[in-house]
Amino acid sequence: MRGRPAMWTAPAPSAWTRSATGARGAGSATTCWRWPRRCCDRPPREMPMTDPDPAAPDLASRTCTPCAAGTAPHDAATADRMLAGLSGWRMSDEARAITRRFEVKGFAKAVELANLAAWLGNRQGHHPDIAFGWGYCAVTFTTHAAGGLTDNDFICAARLDALLA
Ligand SMILES: C[C@H](O)[C@H](O)[C@H]1CNC2=NC(N)=NC(=O)C2=N1
């Protein structure tokens, strides 16, 4: 992929992942993974980077747009309405960010989920804040250029959920 550092390969297993035989070792980039487990030897589906479909009711069909500094953030009512389209995401008290905490087994899965969220953010040009450790990975989206929430945050949250479905 043009100019993309190795770490942004498709969300295939990292070196932490057990191969099909259960042996620990670098996973294959040609393995199809329905996170968190390997499902077959088909090449992984690239996340569709489709253009926004005006008829698309769901956030996961949309693509983020660059956000100019000073863009007005959504008000709390709008943010609440968009949050209703997601599941498992919580809004910060002042409606400036949304966070989902994923509980996972062990540390390797937490690393993989963090990597997936980072990969998604880099693909969308809208980057998450990520905290992870043994048993968990917390992903937060906010639009720094707006000092609050914009459509981009809800799009990325929906796209991450779609990748993990
Ligand atoms: C030019 C580019 O679109 C901006 O710098 C992007 C990069 N990634 C970003 N990520 C997030 N979370 N907020 C932003 O405002 C933002 N701005």
For the chain, what are the domain ranges? Answer: 9-45, 59-164
Which pLDDT score, from 0 to 100, does residue 26 have?
36
How far is residue 8 from each of residues 1, 46, 73, 95, 123, measured CA to CA in Å?
9, 12, 29, 30, 9
Separation of 104 CA from ligand 1 center, angstroms? 28
Q: How far is the CA of 73 from the centre of ligand 1 (A)?
A: 13
Whether the predicted model's global pTM rises above the 0.95 cut: no
Question: Rounded to the nearest whole angstrom, what is the distance from the C-alpha of residue 20 to the centroid of ligand 1?
Answer: 38
**Ligand 1 nearest atom to the CA of residue 141, by list position:** 12
pLDDT at 37: 47
59-164 in CATH: which number?
A: 3.30.1360.20
- CA–centroid distance, 19 to ligand 1, in Å, is 35
User: Each residue of 71-109: pLDDT tens digit?
Assistant: 999 999 999 999 999 999 999 989 999 999 999 999 999
**Nearest CA residue ID for atom 1, ligand 1:** 66
Position 40 pLDDT exceeds 80:
no
pLDDT tens digits for range 104-128: 999 999 999 999 999 999 999 999 9
Average pLDDT, the chain: 78
- Those residues with Cβ within 8 angstroms of residue 82's Cβ, 6 or more apart along the chain or in another chain: 59, 74, 149, 151, 154
DSSP β-bridge partners for residue 24: 18
ipTM, two decimals, is 0.96
